[in-house]
């Protein structure tokens, strides 16, 4: 089955047209589009949790999220929501999902259940382009560095009023600052303001100037695309080469999404 692909921006992102994920899934074509465009989107999908899980399993191995309990009957499907009275949203900062794990996820899928009347878009940034735009000298510096990533970084662990206030367990992992994508072979920046604390062998203070430069650089507008959600939309992003940021601009309104995380491997 051939699929129609419409690019969203020069940097990354594509909408997949004419596919009903509740029926036959053109897995090979979807997977190829995912690897090429880094984040792909489907409009108007009518997927209950079982069908959502079926699609996720056709693309990878769903795994449980470490800090949020799954919905009833589907432990790998978590509810990502912001309620009318809340001011903070879930993961409301530029980040790559759970970089503090020894084996961070390959990708994440997000399905829109309820959306606000305006706002609530999600931005995505290509970390291929962020790396490739650096000077040769900076790339040489970064290629030998290892980053320390922690779940304890305050900007991420304090996101929603009804999340656990103090986590019983904290996670920490060391990963290359520049990782090589295991399927495409391309290099991508792999630090993020949400989780990266310092470089291995350096203090936080010593690491801060270079990290602050990278955090600003890797989300420049020319590396990004932006998705405006409608109910039934599904996004699938490659966590190995993108970052994302859910825009928190819809106070007083409700936004409810279902998310599935797909297992990955150790960055190299």
Say yes or no to pLDDT of 158 above 90: no
Task: Please check whether residue 112 lies inside any domain of the structure.
Answer: yes
pLDDT tens-place string over residues 224-255: 999 999 999 999 999 999 999 999 999 999 99
Say yes or no to pLDDT of 46 above 60: yes
pLDDT value of position 20: 96
Count of other CB atoms within 10 angstroms of residue 201: 10
Residue 244 among the catalytic residues = yes
d(CA 80, CA 65): 11
pLDDT tens-place string over residues 55-87: 999 999 999 998 889 999 999 999 999 999 999
3-state secondary structure of 205: helix
With a pLDDT cut of 90, the percent of the chain lying above it is 89
Summary mean pLDDT of the chain = 94
Q: What is the mean pLDDT of residues 134-160?
A: 83
Residue 258 among the catalytic residues = no
Task: Please check whether residue 152 lies inside any domain of the structure.
Answer: yes
Annotated catalytic residue, options 37, 95, 255, 258: 95
Say yes or no to pLDDT of 162 above 70: no
**Do residues 46 and 18 lie in contact, with contact meaning Cβ atoms separated by under 8 Å?**
no
pLDDT value of position 168: 54
**Do residues 180 and 186 lie in contact, with contact meaning Cβ atoms separated by under 8 Å?**
yes
Task: Please check whether residue 186 lies inside any domain of the structure.
Answer: yes
- Would you give the DSSP letter of residue 121? -
- The model carries a pTM of 0.94
**Do residues 103 and 221 lie in contact, with contact meaning Cβ atoms separated by under 8 Å?**
no
* CB neighbour list of residue 106: distance below 8 Å, 6 or more residues apart: 60, 238, 239, 240, 262, 263, 264, 265
3-state secondary structure of 142: helix
We report the CATH number of the domain holding residue 105 as 3.60.130.10
CA distances from 84 to 161, 201, 253 (A): 12, 44, 5
3-state secondary structure of 95: strand
Task: Please check whether residue 51 lies inside any domain of the structure.
Answer: yes
Q: What is the mean pLDDT of residues 95-103?
A: 96
pLDDT value of position 127: 99
Annotated catalytic residue, options 175, 179, 255, 259: 259
pLDDT value of position 215: 98
Q: What is the mean pLDDT of residues 118-145?
A: 98
Any idea how long the chain is? 268
Helix-strand-coil split of the chain, %, nearest 5? 20, 30, 50
Task: Please check whether residue 267 lies inside any domain of the structure.
Answer: no
d(CA 87, CA 235): 24
Residue 97 among the catalytic residues = yes
Say yes or no to pLDDT of 24 above 90: no
pLDDT value of position 69: 92
d(CA 43, CA 18): 9
Residue 259 among the catalytic residues = yes
Task: Please check whether residue 126 lies inside any domain of the structure.
Answer: yes
Say yes or no to pLDDT of 210 above 70: yes
* Structural domain containing residue 153: 4-262
* CB neighbour list of residue 56: distance below 8 Å, 6 or more residues apart: 62, 76, 109, 260, 262
Annotated catalytic residue, options 97, 179, 181, 195: 97
Q: How many domains does the chain divide into?
A: 1
Task: Please check whether residue 73 lies inside any domain of the structure.
Answer: yes
Annotated catalytic residue, options 37, 175, 244, 255: 244
Task: Please check whether residue 268 lies inside any domain of the structure.
Answer: no
């Amino acid at each position: 089955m051939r699929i129609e692909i419409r690019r969203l921006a020069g940097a990354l992102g594509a909408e997949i047209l004419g596919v009903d994920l509740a029926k036959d899934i053109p897995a090979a074509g979807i997977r190829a589009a995912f690897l090429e465009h880094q984040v792909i989107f489907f409009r108007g999908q009518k997927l209950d949790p079982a069908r959502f899980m079926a699609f996720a399993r056709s693309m990878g191995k769903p795994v449980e999220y470490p800090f949020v309990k799954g919905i009833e009957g589907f432990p790998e499907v978590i509810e990502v929501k912001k309620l009318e009275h809340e001011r903070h949203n879930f993961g409301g900062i530029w980040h790559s999902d759970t970089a503090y794990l020894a084996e961070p996820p390959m990708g994440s899928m997000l399905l829109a259940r309820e959306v606000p009347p305006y706002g609530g878009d999600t931005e995505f940034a290509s970390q291929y382009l962020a790396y490739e735009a650096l000077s040769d000298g900076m790339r040489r510096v970064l290629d030998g560095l290892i980053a320390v990533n922690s779940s304890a970084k305050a900007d991420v662990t304090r996101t929603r009023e009804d999340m656990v206030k103090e986590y019983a367990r904290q996670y920490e992992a060391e990963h290359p600052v520049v990782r090589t994508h295991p399927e495409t072979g391309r290099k991508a920046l792999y630090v993020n303001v949400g989780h990266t604390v310092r470089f291995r062998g350096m203090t936080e203070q010593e690491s801060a100037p270079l990290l602050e430069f990278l955090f600003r650089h890797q989300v420049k507008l020319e590396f990004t695309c932006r998705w405006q959600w409608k109910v039934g939309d599904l996004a699938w992003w490659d966590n190995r080469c993108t970052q994302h940021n859910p825009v928190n601009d819809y106070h007083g309104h409700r936004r409810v999404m279902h998310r599935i995380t797909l297992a990955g491997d150790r960055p190299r």
